Structure 1
Amino acid sequence: MMVSGLQELPEQQRSDAVSSMVYEANARVRDPVYGCVGAISSLQQQIDSLQTQLARAQAEVVHMRMRHLASTSDHPAGTGSTENKLMASQSKSFYYMDTVDQANKTESLWSY
């Protein structure tokens, strides 16, 4: 947007437009080739990595709960409910592991 384009904007939007242009100019100085897109791509990769780490941590929690339920299933009373809980935990574990697999296989939209 050129300076004359700023005059065409409503006054309440001009400050935001200038701030955006300054941010984009600074991003272009830091990364002359990709500019803001490079910053967005980097942040998207961080999000993807953190989502994968979260899915792995959730799967580990489910696995630990499953081991705990298996170790407490020695009690004859309520064995059926423990088995149901164990099966539900296993189902969640498979879901989380599938999520991790998908996160590792899927490329980010911002990848080059």
Structure 2
Amino acid sequence: MRQKGHRHGRTVSPCAGCKLLRRKCVKDSCVFAPYFPAKEPYKFAIVHKIFGASNVNKMLQELSENHRSDAVDSMVYEANARIQDPVYGCVGTISSLHRQLETLQTQLAFAQAELIHIRTLHRIHTKPPPYTASTVTFPSNKDFYSDIDMAVAYTDDAGDFLWSC
């Protein structure tokens, strides 16, 4: 004779939702079973405390199965945020992070402005190295000269340069 709650020699435990609600869990038709396993009872407990089991059940049944896991994760996150901050919940967390972001952006802008200022001061106080003319030696190959247009600079009587190609 089989004992109640045993299947093939092992004990079948209800999901966390059914266990907390003290009802029989039929794994095939229980909407909570895939998302609130018996090993994680705190997840359902906190969601139940904030949203209520009936509301969670309605929300999950209205969603398609491929969106339910994300919805449960969101509900658990929101429930945890509501426990920590009963007034603002996750909106308080988002606002706090937004303020931190604005502060960091302001600090970054000041740091970038200071860096530009330091670079400008460094350029003013540092003289560039003197430029020197280098001597270019051309090969003595006749074919090389025949393919190159040479530019020659001449000066007129006024000292202005005149270019010839």
Q: TM-score, normalised by structure 2?
A: 0.43
Alignment partners' CA distance in 2, 1:76 and 1:45: 51
Moved over 4 A (4+): 73-77
Unaligned runs of 5+ in 1: 78-112
2:110 is matched with which residue: 51, 56, 61?
56
The reply on whether 1:8 has 2:62 as its aligned counterpart is yes
Partners of 2:93 and 2:62 lie apart in 1 by 29
Q: How does 1:21-100 map to 2 (within 5 A)?
A: 21-73=75-127
Higher helix share: 1
- Return the structure number with greater relative CO, CA threshold 8 A, min gap 6: 1
C-alpha deviation, 1:5, in angstroms:
2.2
Higher normalized strand content (fraction of residues)? 2
Post-superposition shift, 1:21? 0.5
Instruction: Identify the range of structure 1 (67-76 vs 30-39) with the bigger mean alpha-carbon deviation.
Output: 67-76
CA RMSD of aligned residues (A): 1.9
Distance 1:30 1:52 in 2: 29
- Runs of at least 5 residues in structure 2 that lack an aligned partner in the other structure: 1-50, 132-165
TM-score by length of 1: 0.62
Aligned pairs, how many?
77
Query: What do the CA deviations read for 1:12-65 (whole angstroms, capped 9, x no partner)?
Result: 110000110010011000001111110001000110110011001100110011
Q: Give how far 1:74 is off.
A: 7.3
- The percentage of counterpart residues that share the same residue type is 61
